[in-house]
Amino acid sequence: MDKEYIIFQEDGLFGAKNQRGEVVIQPQYMEMQPFSCGLSLVRNHQYQYAYIDINNKEVVRFGIYSWCDPQFTCGFSRVMGYLKNKWGIIDTLGNIVVPLKYDKIWVIREEYLLSLRAFLGDKEERINLHLLGNKVIFDGLTYICTYSVEAFKELVHCKELYVKVQPNTRQLYFTFGANIGFVSLKGMPKKPVISIVANSSGKIFPLLMEKSDIGKATLSPTKAVPKKNISRRTFHKTSFWEYESEKMNDTDNWSDPYGDEQAYYGGWSREDIESGLADAYEGDINARWDND
């Protein structure tokens, strides 16, 4: 995708064209680097750095860093802060993966991602970006293939999918067998599908999403917002469960497999009662989801 865009210069300013020669970003920058991982490093008339996407949106705003890598490598880029000229590393959403505390970080290359050299004064450290970059981001998405929920279950030889919540982040994910996938939904799914995608860091994973969102390069993770005063004895089936039976024709079981324990908790598992996931689906549909 990055190779589809050509940087060109006109009247001393840089912009971008597609392969058909159509201008997609008007010439306006003093400097502009080729796109990498969906982003281009540019400099404005104040010679400040920023990373922009192909829609000319600032993903990393001007004036934050005094220096940035011209290209992302596997979704990572080195940056240098203004105040203390310390080095750090960001991802393609601008998230700081490695804090800006180092006096020097060597060039990021694929073969060094597990052991990148960095220095605090004369002291050398080794940075493992595979460990630090384990947060899955839904950015720079490339779609490999897409399945209906039923077809996906047949593919992975599982009869059921189980939606769960990460206790610390409240982010929803789903399990199939001993594996996990991720969720990007803005509400109760209308036409849910599961796409196999690769993100800007090269991570490949299944993503539960709306069919209408297929092709979007950036999506938001879905978070469950629990209500207070959770009662273990007063839960009843909500519209989420009604959706399961009416829209999925009883073929897709999104519950947790806790047997008789579910009956005691009104269809939910003890884990989901205590985490607040069950309560997150109660009430107004707009209150169930918190998309950052």
Beta bridge partners of 134: none
Q: How confident is the model at residue 66 (pLDDT cuts 50, 70, 90)?
A: very high
pLDDT at 1 (0 to 100)? 61
Question: At residue 161, does pLDDT exceed 70?
Answer: yes
Q: Assess whether pLDDT exceeds 80 at residue 207.
A: yes
pLDDT digits (tens, 9 = 90+) for 209-240: 999 999 999 998 888 766 554 444 433 433 33
| Average pLDDT over every residue of 168-197 | 85
| Residue pLDDT, tens place only, 1-13 | 667 899 999 999 9
Q: Does 165 have pLDDT greater than 70?
A: yes
pLDDT for the residue 158: 79
Tell me the C-alpha to C-alpha distance, in Å, between residue 229 and each of 226, 235, 276.
Answer: 10, 12, 10
60 within 8 A of 78, measured Cβ to Cβ: no
Distances 169 to 92, 159, 186, 275, 291 between C-alpha atoms, Å: 20, 28, 17, 11, 12
Question: How far is C-alpha 232 from the geometric centre of its chain's CA atoms?
Answer: 33
What span, in angstroms and rounded, lies between the C-alpha atoms of 61 and 82?
Answer: 13
Find the helix or strand (DSSP H, E) in which 129 lies: helix 129-132
- pLDDT category at 163 given cuts 50, 70, 90 is confident
Q: Under CATH, what is the fold of the domain 2-132?
A: Lipocalin (2.40.128)
In the chain, ranges of CATH 2.40.128 domains:
2-132
pLDDT surpasses 80 at 142: yes
Q: What is the pLDDT at residue 237?
A: 38
